[in-house]
Chain A
Amino acid sequence: MDYALSRKVKYVDVRVQHEEGTGFVMGEGEVEEGGTVSLTGIGVRVIVNGAWGFCSTDSGLSKPRVRETIDRAIKLARKSSEGTISPVEMAPTKVIRTRVKGPDSDFTLKEDSTLETILKPAKDCDRRIRSLGSEIQASSLSFTVGKFTETFANSDGSLITQAYSGFLGTIFVVASCLGVTEYYPHDFGGLGYYEKFLSEDLPLLAERIAKKACQLTGSRTLQKTRTFQTVVMDPHFAALWVHETLGHPLEADRLLGGKGNPENAPWTYKAFGNKVAPEFLSLVDDPGVETPAWHKFDDEGVEAKRKSLITNGVMKGCIHNRETAAAFRVEPNGGARSPSYHFTPMPRMCNTYIEPGDWTPDAIIEDTKEGIYAVGGMTPSVDSRAYEWRISAKEAYIVAKGEIKEMLRDVILSGVTPDFLISLDAIGKDLEITVTPDCGKGSPVQMLPVGNGGPTIRGKTNVEGAE
């Protein structure tokens, strides 16, 4: 910091991070691949002549190396300022000096016994999956558990250290029967170290996924597209829908991008400030939820706040870094994130979800005369405005006369975001947060975990089968 300030930068921030992680890919009850990672690095960001410059390094954090990193960032900012129309402005924020720790504890098992203990539930997963018989063609459980320490300092005087740990994983099962093959993936994750990971009932989850995959091989898909169909999304499907159609387009830098060509702007650009949903719908982005996206302070040292994005149907807020907060003339809300010291932070979702409503999920189904119940979002296809969307369901069911009936495979829901949003007529009480391990944004792309979710929701949109 002292060196950077001696070089007369307007602003500087520094992030020093250390990460220790272990991960496995399990197949057929055995470790197919496993590995550990130990990383330390530094990212330096400066404002010079009204422009940003950023440089990161992990190749030996000696004093000369760090100074060289700072010099590179300064030189880059100086050159970039020749392509800057208006100087970078950052919204003011409190100076904070603190150390925080995530709500977890250290794993206490001896090093030698750790692997066996960790791998036991994973092996149990496979036993449960295989017990379902010959329809199981393949299955895999992959997971990583990591510990992170991040220290942030800036020229405003903030000095913050955050330490936390988290785990991420994916189970997938491929089942095949009479020429029909079904692939069923499921992501999971949480805040905490091994003991938290081990407290998850993964074998039960694996068995449920495997059973569903087997059932899907014996089900049919829809032959005809049904337009403006009543659809009920379970919390996991709603999570993916929220992520793609509401979360990303409410990251403030995307909204600002709409100043160029509103035709290519996210749909939220024109809708911002307006009523976009029924008044019983509210959407928040909450850094306090215990997923791997948990944080007390963002990567600009701003206290991370629960952000109200849609309140009683009105689109009122978005996810800010200090720069977008200045452009919107609002207080920063701690939404700047980056996956590591390697990258400059940008406005990113953490845990974005629809707040729970009044309905029990059973009541929503009982109240549905005819429709489709979509369970678990698999793959999204969304246009760059997040206006038109298509999402495949891991499983789906016909709903008739208030009851869940026949199971359907390979069902795709599609629609126009504002149309579906305004069509919502029931919000469940059953909020669940789903972890997406690898949300990508930016170029070069920055991949990081986010939590997304919602309760069961009901609205009207198009439904088709993938055939």
Chain B
Amino acid sequence: MEACRSVISLANREGIEAEVFLLKRDLKSIRITSNEIVEAQNIVEGGAGIRVARNSSMGFSATNTLERNSVETAYRSALRIAKSSARIPNWGGLPTPLPTSRESVSLDSYDKELALKSPDEIAELSLEMLKQVTGHSSSSSALTSVLIAVFEEFSIFNSNGLEHLAEPSTVLYSRIIVEAKKAAECCTAMKQFCSRRLADFNPESAIEEAIRSATQVLHLPRRRISKSKCDVILSPQSAGAFTAYLVAPMIVGKSVQTGASCFTNMSNTRVAVESFSLKDQGRIKGGIGSAIVDDEGNPTRTTTIIKNGLLKGFLYDILTACRSEESSTGNARRASDTLGRTYLRAPEPLPTNLVIESGDYGSEELIEETKEAVLLDSIDYTFPLVPERGYFSVTSSLPALLIEKGEIEGYTQNLTISDELSKALTRVSGIGKDIQQSTYLGSTVTFSPYLRIRDMAISYGS
């Protein structure tokens, strides 16, 4: 901490704007494959990312050696880079100290009990999950899962006097895949779970639900849909994946500025049905993406992205805001690939918690009033095939339920759905009441309800 303060003092003496982002992190992960622990990891890391702005030109450097000399060397490296960098248009400087006291914001982002859990205690939690599956009475089941617990604490100092010290947070994430077997038949269900607090971790119900889903499918007939278009119901966790993989890359300042987003030049136009609204909310209590400030020290806030179907806004950090002559929306993030933050990257605009506004439908009601549809509970590996058009295609290997006249009548497998994002959102015909939090690759966090989308293109590869 003192080495960081010393670099800020040095920068002030040299008339340079500087920022130090200091991070310490402790990640524990336990992976189970087919009822056996196959991987147990504990990653303890810490380091500093240093940015300098010299004559409105920026440079960055990162180091994990936090002695004074090393941090100063990193500062000098960042300065050398800044000398070669372009002037940032409309540069207004690094953030200033928070106008309100930090104590007035309560986000429930940190759970001391979870932070203090040792790696072997996290392994114990996994073992309990394993026992629940292997000891389950209803059918022969197998568990494949990962359980990840992260504690991190970040501080930001800058030469404008901002000192945001030691904001701690915790995350517990689990992805559970249960295989239920009956004679030679085997069906799989996947559930995800994430929370800030250990007390909210309820693997029993997630596992029970996964076993129930997988077992339910075992008793249903397997069918193929012969149509080329069909209504699709996305469960909260698949709607979350849809939002994280397909919507999130389209609403960040960088992709909008370059034209690599299907929403470029579409502000104030209709991109969704009137009942569909989407916000980025940086201060949801218990939100995995919540923080008091973003990763460059600006206060987090709520940004409306789609309001009643109209595209209203995008997400910016300071740099992309300057380039678009906008203000930062408090979305600077240094997202780690492995949940949470990294000091190795300079900030970029990314969502905090992406929230789809809930609708009127209870999940059962949505199904009951559906004439014919396929219900997808899991989609993964879903990136835009043609990003500038928002065209996507995803194949779900896991069973998808077939809804006919309001009843679950069968299941289908290996179904591919394809569509264009903005067109698909204009065909949303039902939004659920209940919202579920999920987190995905690149640490994107979503709060999503059930979504029913009319007439999506469907196909089978074989």
Interchain CB contact under 8 A, B385 and A181 = no
Q: Give residues of chain B (55-90) contacting chain A, Cβ–Cβ below 8 Å.
A: 57-66, 70, 73-74, 77-78, 80-86
Tell whether A182 is near chain B: CB-to-CB under 8 Å.
yes
For the complex, give the distance between the alpha carbons of A263 and B45 in Å: 39
B192 to chain A, nearest CB (A): 11
Known: A261-B188, A342-B45. Is A444-B338 also a contact (CB below 8 A)? yes
Q: Please pick, from A32, A54, A115, A261, the residue contacting B80 in the complex, using a CB distance under 8 A.
A: A115
Closest B residue to A443 by beta carbon equals B146
Q: Which of A22, A58, A79, A85 has the most CB of B within 10 A?
A: A79
Q: Give residues of chain A (376-410) contacting chain B, Cβ–Cβ below 8 Å.
A: 378-385, 387-392, 410
Interchain CB contact under 8 A, A80 and B40 = yes
Tell whether B7 is near chain A: CB-to-CB under 8 Å.
no
For the complex, give the distance between the alpha carbons of A412 and B41 in Å: 39
Contact with B along A196-233 (1 / 0, CB 8 A): 00000000000000000000000000000000000000
Closest A residue to B460 by beta carbon equals A388
For the complex, give the distance between the alpha carbons of A38 and B335 in Å: 19
What is the interface size of chain A, counting residues whose CB is below 8 A from a CB of the partner? 90
B238 to chain A, nearest CB (A): 14
Known: A38-B74, A264-B188, A388-B462. Is A76-B62 also a contact (CB below 8 A)? no
Q: Give residues of chain A (49-95) contacting chain B, Cβ–Cβ below 8 Å.
A: 51-60, 69, 72-73, 75-80, 82-86
Q: Please pick, from B45, B186, B384, B397, the residue contacting A383 in the complex, using a CB distance under 8 A.
A: B397
Q: Please pick, from A52, A259, A384, A415, the residue contacting B39 in the complex, using a CB distance under 8 A.
A: A52
B143 to chain A, nearest CB (A): 9
Chain A residues, Cβ within 8 Å of B81: 22, 24, 31, 34-36, 115
Tell whether B458 is near chain A: CB-to-CB under 8 Å.
no
Chain A residues, Cβ within 8 Å of B74: 36, 38
Tell whether B377 is near chain A: CB-to-CB under 8 Å.
no
Interchain CB contact under 8 A, A412 and B64 = no
Closest B residue to A464 by beta carbon equals B418
Chain B residues, Cβ within 8 Å of A115: 80-81, 83-84
Interchain CB contact under 8 A, B339 and A444 = yes
Chain A residues, Cβ within 8 Å of B36: 83-86
Interchain CB contact under 8 A, B383 and A260 = no
Interchain CB contact under 8 A, A182 and B397 = no
Interchain CB contact under 8 A, B123 and A79 = yes
Interchain CB contact under 8 A, B381 and A183 = no
Q: Please pick, from A31, A138, A172, the residue contacting B257 in the complex, using a CB distance under 8 A.
A: A138
Tell whether A419 is near chain B: CB-to-CB under 8 Å.
yes
Chain A residues, Cβ within 8 Å of B60: 33-36
For the complex, give the distance between the alpha carbons of A119 and B85 in Å: 10
Q: Please pick, from A30, A54, A260, A261, the residue contacting B85 in the complex, using a CB distance under 8 A.
A: A30
Contact with B along A424-467 (1 / 0, CB 8 A): 00000000000000001011110100000000000000000011
Interchain CB contact under 8 A, B41 and A344 = yes
Interchain CB contact under 8 A, B34 and A381 = no
Chain A residues, Cβ within 8 Å of B394: 381
B156 to chain A, nearest CB (A): 17
Chain A residues, Cβ within 8 Å of B304: none
For the complex, give the distance between the alpha carbons of A343 and B416 in Å: 34
Interchain CB contact under 8 A, B40 and A378 = no
Chain A residues, Cβ within 8 Å of B30: 80
A444 to chain B, nearest CB (A): 4
Interchain CB contact under 8 A, A440 and B64 = no
Interchain CB contact under 8 A, B43 and A40 = no
Interchain CB contact under 8 A, B33 and A33 = no
For the complex, give the distance between the alpha carbons of A205 and B32 in Å: 45
Which of B258-266, B356-364, B424-432 is found at the contact surface with chain A? B258-266
Which of B93-101, B124-132, B286-294, B400-408 is found at the contact surface with chain A? B124-132
Q: Give residues of chain B (156-211) contacting chain A, Cβ–Cβ below 8 Å.
A: 175, 179, 186, 188
Tell whether B279 is near chain A: CB-to-CB under 8 Å.
no
Interchain CB contact under 8 A, A415 and B119 = no
Chain B residues, Cβ within 8 Å of A30: 85-86
Closest B residue to A445 by beta carbon equals B337
B2 to chain A, nearest CB (A): 15
Q: Please pick, from B31, B32, B66, B142, the residue contacting A261 in the complex, using a CB distance under 8 A.
A: B142
Interchain CB contact under 8 A, B414 and A383 = yes
For the complex, give the distance between the alpha carbons of A22 and B80 in Å: 11
Q: Please pick, from A33, A60, A378, the residue contacting B58 in the complex, using a CB distance under 8 A.
A: A33
Interchain CB contact under 8 A, A257 and B188 = no
Tell whether B437 is near chain A: CB-to-CB under 8 Å.
no
Q: Please pick, from B29, B42, B393, the residue contacting A381 in the complex, using a CB distance under 8 A.
A: B393
Tell whether A28 is near chain B: CB-to-CB under 8 Å.
yes
Tell whether B392 is near chain A: CB-to-CB under 8 Å.
yes
Chain B residues, Cβ within 8 Å of A440: 337, 441
B148 to chain A, nearest CB (A): 6
Tell whether A268 is near chain B: CB-to-CB under 8 Å.
no
Tell whether A39 is near chain B: CB-to-CB under 8 Å.
yes
Interchain CB contact under 8 A, B85 and A31 = yes
Tell whether B327 is near chain A: CB-to-CB under 8 Å.
no
Chain B residues, Cβ within 8 Å of A263: 186, 188, 413
Interchain CB contact under 8 A, A54 and B64 = no
Chain A residues, Cβ within 8 Å of B441: 440, 445
Interchain CB contact under 8 A, B148 and A119 = no
Tell whether B91 is near chain A: CB-to-CB under 8 Å.
no
Interchain CB contact under 8 A, B395 and A36 = no
A251 to chain B, nearest CB (A): 13
Tell whether B351 is near chain A: CB-to-CB under 8 Å.
no
Tell whether B9 is near chain A: CB-to-CB under 8 Å.
no
For the complex, give the distance between the alpha carbons of A412 and B44 in Å: 42
Interchain CB contact under 8 A, A80 and B44 = no
Chain A residues, Cβ within 8 Å of B413: 263
Chain B residues, Cβ within 8 Å of A388: 395, 414, 416, 461-462
Tell whether A116 is near chain B: CB-to-CB under 8 Å.
yes
Tell whether B284 is near chain A: CB-to-CB under 8 Å.
no
Interchain CB contact under 8 A, A56 and B43 = yes
Known: A381-B392, A382-B381, A392-B385. Is A59-B24 also a contact (CB below 8 A)? yes
A97 to chain B, nearest CB (A): 28
Tell whether B37 is near chain A: CB-to-CB under 8 Å.
yes
Interchain CB contact under 8 A, B44 and A174 = no
Interchain CB contact under 8 A, B42 and A56 = yes
Q: Please pick, from A37, A72, A181, the residue contacting B61 in the complex, using a CB distance under 8 A.
A: A37
Tell whether B106 is near chain A: CB-to-CB under 8 Å.
no
Closest B residue to A179 by beta carbon equals B265
Known: A342-B43, A381-B393. Is A415-B461 also a contact (CB below 8 A)? yes
For the complex, give the distance between the alpha carbons of A182 and B381 in Å: 23
Q: Please pick, from A34, A53, A56, A466, the residue contacting B40 in the complex, using a CB distance under 8 A.
A: A53
Chain B residues, Cβ within 8 Å of A342: 43, 45
Chain B residues, Cβ within 8 Å of A9: none
Interchain CB contact under 8 A, B462 and A137 = no
A216 to chain B, nearest CB (A): 10
For the complex, give the distance between the alpha carbons of A53 and B120 in Å: 10
Q: Which of B39, B40, B392 has the most CB of A within 10 A?
A: B40
Tell whether B35 is near chain A: CB-to-CB under 8 Å.
yes
Tell whether A140 is near chain B: CB-to-CB under 8 Å.
yes
Q: Please pick, from A33, A85, A412, A416, the residue contacting B35 in the complex, using a CB distance under 8 A.
A: A85
Which 6 A-B pairs give the minimum distances between C-beta atoms? Answer: A30-B86, A35-B60, A388-B461, A444-B338, A83-B37, A79-B120
* Besides A444-B27, A444-B43, 13 new A-B residue pairs in contact (Cβ under 8 A), listed by A number: A31-B85, A34-B58, A34-B82, A35-B60, A54-B41, A54-B42, A76-B40, A82-B127, A138-B260, A257-B34, A260-B144, A263-B186, A445-B338
Chain A to chain B contacts (Cβ below 8 Å), 6 pairs: A31-B85, A79-B40, A80-B123, A383-B397, A387-B414, A444-B148
B residues with a Cβ closer than 8 A to A are 24, 27, 29-47, 57-66, 70, 73-74, 77-78, 80-86, 118-120, 123-124, 126-127, 130, 142, 144, 146, 148, 175, 179, 186, 188, 257-260, 264, 319, 337-339, 344, 346, 380-389, 391-398, 413-414, 416, 418, 420, 441, 461-462
